[in-house]
C-alpha cells in the first residue's frame, strides 16, 4: 500500500472513514488511528504495528461527553476529566458494550483519552467518530515524536500520515485505572502523581509484582527500547566513545559521537525518543542517559529510561 502524506485533516479523515489507518500527531507522541467501532480497521492497526493482540488500545475522543458513551463514568473519573481533559491523561474505565473486543483485548475495561493537540482535535472533528490510536511505531520500537519517525517505521504499511510538528511532550500519556476504590497510575506521564493527588488524594502508583501485569497488559511487553544499549550513567560514570551517544541535563566529557544536553526535564522528555532513533540511525552501540530525580515529569522520564535499559 502507498502511504499518503498530507497536512490536510480532511484528507486524513477520508482515509479513516473508509476503514483505513492514519497516523497523526497528539501532544504526547504520534498515534496510529483507526475507527474504534470498525473491527477490520482495528485489526489493521495491530497488523501494521506487529502489536501483540493481548495489548489493548486507547480510544481517543473529542470530549468528556463522548467518554460517557464508551464507558461508565464514576465521580472520581468525572473529577479527573474536568481537571485534565483535554490533555495527556488516559482513564481506564468499565466499558459499555459496543466496541470490538480487539480494542480492549477482551477486557471488561476500556482506556479513553481526550487529546489536547489541535492537530488531533481537527482530525477527530473531521472524522466524527472515536479513534483507537496506539503509538505509531513498529511494536517494540520507541514511540514516534515526528512524522518522519512514523514514516521510517510504517511507510507502506498504513493508509496515511497526517504531517504535523514534533510532539510537544514526547512521552506517552499518563494511564490511570479508576475502576476500583483506589485510583492506580498504570503508566506515569506528563500528568504527574502530584497533579492527580491534588484531585484524588488516594491515587497510588502501580507497584511491580502486585497485579500490575493484569491491570496494565502493555507493561508485560518490552517497550521504548532502541537497538542501542541504554545505560543509566551520571557524568562521573560517563564512558565517551565513537560508538556512543549521551543524553542528559549535564554536559558530558568530550568524545561522544552524539550529545544532547537538555535545558530541563521537560526538554529531556521531549527529545528522548528522537535521540534513541538518531543513535540507531547512526548505528551506535550505546546510549548513556543521565538519570533525573523521580519526581513530577521526572518519574515518567525515569520509567521510560529504566524500561529501555532493562534488556
Ligand atoms: P500505547 O497506546 O501504545 O501507548 O499503549 C497503550 C497503553 O494503555 C498500554 O500500556 C496498554 O496496556 C494500556 N491500556 C489500554 N487499554 C487498557 C485497559 N483496558 N486496561 C489497562 N491498560 C490498558
Ligand atoms: Mg506504544
Q: What is the DSSP string of 197-231?
A: HHH-TT-EEPPSSTTHHHH-GGGGS--S--SSEEE
Mutate to test the pocket of ligand 1, among 183, 217, 273 (most ligand atoms within 8 A of CB): 217
Q: Which pLDDT value is given to residue 311? A: 72
Which residues' Cβ are closer than 6 Å to ligand 1? 55-56, 58, 92, 104, 107, 109-111, 134-135, 172, 175, 186-187, 215-218
Judged on CB neighbours under 10 Å (0-12, 13-18, 19+), 219 is middle
What is the pLDDT averaged over residues 255-265?
Answer: 98
> How many of the other CB atoms lie within 10 Å of CB of 199?
16
Mean pLDDT of 71-89: 97
Strands 174-177 and 89-94: parallel
pLDDT of residue 225: 83
CA of 238 to the centre of ligand 2 (A): 29
Return the minimum-mean-pLDDT range out of 6-20, 204-218, 274-288: 204-218
Under the banding of pLDDT at 50, 70 and 90, the label for residue 211 is low
Give the mean pLDDT of the chain: 95
- Residues, beta carbon < 5 Å, ion ligand 2: 135
Which residue minimizes the CA distance to atom 1 of ligand 1?
134
Check residue 152 and give its pLDDT.
98
| Ligand 1 atom 7 nearest Cα | 218
Report the percentage of the chain scoring pLDDT > 90.
93
pLDDT for position 212: 59
Among 216, 221, 300, 304, say which to mutate for ligand 1: greatest number of ligand atoms within 8 Å of CB: 216
pLDDT of 217 higher than 90: no
Pocket test for ligand 1, best of 90, 218, 224 (most atoms within 8 A of CB): 218
Cα(103)–Cα(172) distance, integer angstroms: 18
> Ligand 1: which residue has its CA nearest to atom 2?
134
Q: How confident is the model at residue 207 (pLDDT cuts 50, 70, 90)?
A: confident
Instruction: Read off the pLDDT of each residue in 106-110 and give the average, rounded to a whole number.
Output: 97
pLDDT tens by residue, 24-58: 999 999 999 999 999 999 999 999 999 999 999 99
Under 8 Å between Cβ of 132 and 45: yes
Least confident range from 54-58, 86-90, 212-216: namely 212-216
68-97 burial, b at 16+ Cβ within 10 Å, e below that, comes to bebbebeebbbebbeebbbbbbbbbbebee
Region 297-305 average pLDDT: 97
Please report, rounded to a whole number, the percentage of residues in the chain having pLDDT higher than 70: 95
Nearest ligand, CA 217: 1
> Residue 260's pLDDT is what?
98
* Mean pLDDT, residues 17-23: 98
d(CA 228, CA 142): 11
- The mean pLDDT of 263-280, rounded to a whole number, is 98
**What pLDDT is recorded for position 223?**
64
The arithmetic mean of pLDDT across residues 3-14, rounded, is: 98
**Pairing mode of beta strands 258-261, 244-248:** parallel
Q: Which of 143, 167, 175, 224 to mutate to test the pocket of ligand 1 (most atoms within 8 A of CB)?
A: 175
Residues contacting 83, CB < 8 A, separation 6+: 195, 198, 199
- Mean pLDDT across 182-191: 97
Q: Give the H or E element holding residue 162.
A: strand 160-162
pLDDT of residue 91: 98
In angstroms, what is the span from residue 175 Cα to ligand 1's centroid?
7
135: pLDDT strictly greater than 80: yes
* Nearest CA among 16, 304, 47 for reference residue 187: 304
> What per-residue confidence (pLDDT) applies to 159?
98
Q: From the CA of 143, which ligand is nearest? A: 2
**How large is the average pLDDT for residues 174-183?**
97
- pLDDT given for residue 178 in this prediction: 98
Atom 11 in ligand 1: residue holding the nearest Cα: 218
Amino acid at each position: 500500500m502507498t502511504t499518503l502524506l498530507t497536512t490536510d485533516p480532511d484528507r486524513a479523515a477520508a482515509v479513516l472513514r473508509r476503514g483505513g489507518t492514519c497516523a497523526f500527531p497528539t501532544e504526547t507522541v504520534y498515534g496510529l488511528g483507526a475507527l474504534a467501532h470498525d473491527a477490520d480497521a482495528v485489526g489493521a492497526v495491530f497488523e501494521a504495528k506487529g502489536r501483540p493482540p493481548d495489548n489493548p488500545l486507547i480510544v481517543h475522543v473529542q470530549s468528556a461527553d463522548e467518554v460517557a458513551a464508551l464507558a461508565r463514568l464514576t465521580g472520581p473519573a468525572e473529577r479527573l476529566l474536568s481537571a485534565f481533559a483535554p490533555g495527556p491523561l488516559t482513564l481506564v474505565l468499565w466499558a459499555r458494550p459496543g466496541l470490538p473486543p480487539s480494542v480492549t483485548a477482551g477486557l471488561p475495561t476500556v482506556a479513553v483519552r481526550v487529546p489536547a493537540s489541535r492537530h488531533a482535535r481537527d482530525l477527530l472533528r473531521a472524522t466524527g467518530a472515536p479513534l483507537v490510536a496506539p503509538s505509531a511505531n513498529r511494536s517494540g520500537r520507541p514511540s514516534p515524536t515526528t512524522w518522519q519517525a512514523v514514516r521510517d517505521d510504517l511507510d507502506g504499511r498504513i493508509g496515511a500520515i497526517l504531517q504535523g510538528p514534533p510532539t510537544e511532550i514526547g512521552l506517552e500519556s499518563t494511564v490511570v485505572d479508576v475502576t476500583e476504590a483506589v485510583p492506580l497510575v498504570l503508566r506515569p506521564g506528563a500528568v504527574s502523581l502530584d497533579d492527580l493527588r491534588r484531585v484524588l488524594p488516594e491515587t497510588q502508583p502501580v507497584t511491580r509484582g502486585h497485579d500490575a501485569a493484569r491491570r496494565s497488559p502493555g507493561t508485560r511487553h518490552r517497550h521504548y527500547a532502541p537497538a542501542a544499549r541504554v545505560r543509566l550513567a551520571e557524568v562521573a560514570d560517563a564512558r565517551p566513545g565513537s560508538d556512543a551517544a549521551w543524553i542528559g541535563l549535564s554536559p558530558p566529557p568530550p568524545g561522544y559521537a552524539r550529545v544532547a544536553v537538555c535545558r530541563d526535564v521537560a526538554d529531556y522528555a521531549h527529545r528522548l525518543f528522537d535521540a534513541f532513533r538518531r543513535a540507531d540511525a547512526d548505528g551506535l552501540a550505546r546510549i548513556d542517559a543521565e538519570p533525573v530525580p523521580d519526581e513530577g515529569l521526572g518519574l515518567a522520564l525515569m520509567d521510560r529510561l529504566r524500561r529501555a535499559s532493562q534488556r
